[in-house]
Amino acid sequence: MTLTTLRLFKSGLQVAYRDQGTGNPLVLLHGVGMQSAAWTPQIETFTAQFRVIALAAPRTRVLAGSVEEGMITYVTRSRVFGFPDYTTLHVTADAQGSRATLYGRQRFGKLDFGVNSARIQGWLGAVEALK
């Protein structure tokens, strides 16, 4: 399985990912110090039932939560100074199946210059483009 780069033309962002299997998508996001290739055992296990998409997110790791809890918070460090930004994914059941809420925010300061919005738009755009 090879790493592919997807260019999101509206935002100008690029997202790298590994994609294998068919069916409903299952998106995997690695932590800091890892690569999307670290998901290889899980990808091999789940491709019989799902289309598995492993996103590559630089300087990002799990801060808290789990899939079992239905909520995961990631911390992404800024490239130059290493300032932390938090991105939380919360999944809840509703009448139509499930609903995912994704939101980002900076830890320090009052202005993030749009980096959290761009990150979320990039993640969502990657998933949408892969449908």
Residue carrying structure tokens 């761009």: 118
pLDDT at position 86 = 93
- For residue 21, report the phi and psi dihedrals to the nearest 5 degrees: 95, 180
- Per-residue pLDDT tens digits for 108-131: 988 888 888 888 887 777 767 665
Yes or no: say if 52 and 38 are a contact pair by the CB < 8 Å rule: no
Enter the DSSP assignment of 24: S
- Ramachandran area for residue 59 (φ above 0: left; ψ -120 to 50: alpha; else beta): left
15-25 tens-digit pLDDT? 677 777 777 77
Question: The pTM is what?
Answer: 0.62
Residue 35, amino acid: Q
What's the maximum distance between 2 C-alpha atoms anywhere in the chain? 46
